[in-house]
Amino acid sequence: MRAVADKVKIALAQIAPKLGDVKSNLELHLETISKAESQGADLVVFPELSLTGYLLKDMVPEVALRRNSPEIQKILKASEKIGVIFGLAEEDPSYVYYNSACFADGGKIVYMHRKVFLPTYGMFDEGRFFGEGTTLSAFNTRFGRFGLLICEEAWHSFCPYLLMLDGAILVANIANGTARGLEEKSRMGSSAIWEKMNRFYSDLHGFYWIFANRVGFEDGVGFWGGSEIIDPAGKPEMKLPYFEEDLQTAEISLGKVRRARLRTPLLRDEKLDFAINELLRIRGGNHASPSPKPPKAKPASKRRKVKR
């Protein structure tokens, strides 16, 4: 692998996919990739399920794609000079369907992540239509070691933690964040908590956090956008508008990761064996803290008789 550059230009593609219309969405992807490349971007990031739309339900088998499908091959060809992260409904050879995120670069698939946590509560129903992914790992890219998360996975705090332990210096969370709970003018309550999480994870773990959210409506459900890039100190480097389609590019400096981890060396001080042992204890059902043992009584000292 060639040396990792310190400067990386990242484009966020805040789009409004058409539900179930893979052909139209593919055209939008190819146009957007071309625009991002013309802006000098090294990497362009799309939202979750960007090729299909979100509320698919029983349409999943109709729009799901194999890795060797013509649609994926067109995106791979477009990725020859620019990295592309996009979301899709993936069909495996056994006809199991996954909510997946693909990292393409150099004309090939670098990594495919299958969503592990499928929300099936409230308005969400993913667990009925998708299979669960079984792995979460960082991977090597020409930009450095990378991690992918899909929406709900960010709500499980050990997912970013695992990626940090696995060496990620950049994490992209692609999402379909829904607009709920008006907090103030033009700002939703759901966006406020997402933005808190984005800043918290990047600052705590000392990596770049790339959040790509969609906009538009599906079956009366709105998506709020607000995609952003947060630096390793928890500060925004680029913020896209709420509720509007947009494509913006920002140059980031990976040297900030080094400075953040020198300043606060939490990764250096992690106790992995300790965490593993405690997780095994919890999995075994032993939730009770062990009682401290009382100190052993010291035996009474025998006085030596002193001869006079």
Q: Please compute the mean of the pLDDT values over residues 152-179 and round it to a whole number.
A: 97
pLDDT per residue over 229-238, tens digit each?
A: 999 999 999 9
Please give the domain boundaries of the chain with CATH numbers for all domains: 7-283 (3.60.110.10)
pTM, rounded to two decimals: 0.91
CB 241 within 8 A of CB 247: no
Region of 190 (left: φ > 0; alpha: ψ -120 to 50; beta: rest) is alpha
Average pLDDT, stretch 187-210?
Answer: 92
Question: Is the model's pLDDT at 295 over the cut of 80?
Answer: no
**DSSP classification of residue 270:** -
Model pLDDT, residue 308: 47
87-98: pLDDT as tens digits: 999 999 999 999
Q: What is the average pLDDT across 191-212?
A: 97
* CA proximity to 153, closest of 79, 225, 99, 112: 99
